[in-house]
Amino acid sequence: MYNTEKNSINYSMENKTHKLVLFNDDVHDFLYVIACLMKYCNHDPHQAEQCALIAHSNGSIDVASGDFMKILEIHENLNKMEMKTEISEYA
């Protein structure tokens, strides 16, 4: 959609074709996971903490969504940090 007010593209659900799932790995501590989510997913501290807790409790959580290239970049960065992630396509 085109936003005439700001003369920019509005990235709604239409451009969110993929999501990134973070898995609990029982290796990294909470502070490490929180720092990575803040750096690579642009989460604020509270959001990153909540994602880390949910991944720990439930085994996984969706941490990012967007077009494939954006999600691939985040996936590669988190994998470099030895975090287990997976790219899924929205149904």
What does each of the 91 residues of the chain score in pLDDT, given as a tens digit?
333 343 333 444 558 899 999 999 989 999 999 999 999 999 999 999 999 999 999 999 999 999 999 999 999 999 999 999 999 998 7
Looking at residue 40, its pLDDT comes to: 98
18 near 90, Cβ under 8 Å?
Answer: yes
CA separation for the pair 18, 21 (Å, rounded): 10
Q: Is 64 exposed, middle or buried (0-12, 13-18, 19+ CB in 10 A)?
A: buried
> Which domains are delineated in the chain?
16-89 (3.30.1390.10)
Looking at residue 24, its pLDDT comes to: 96
Looking at residue 33, its pLDDT comes to: 98
Looking at residue 14, its pLDDT comes to: 58
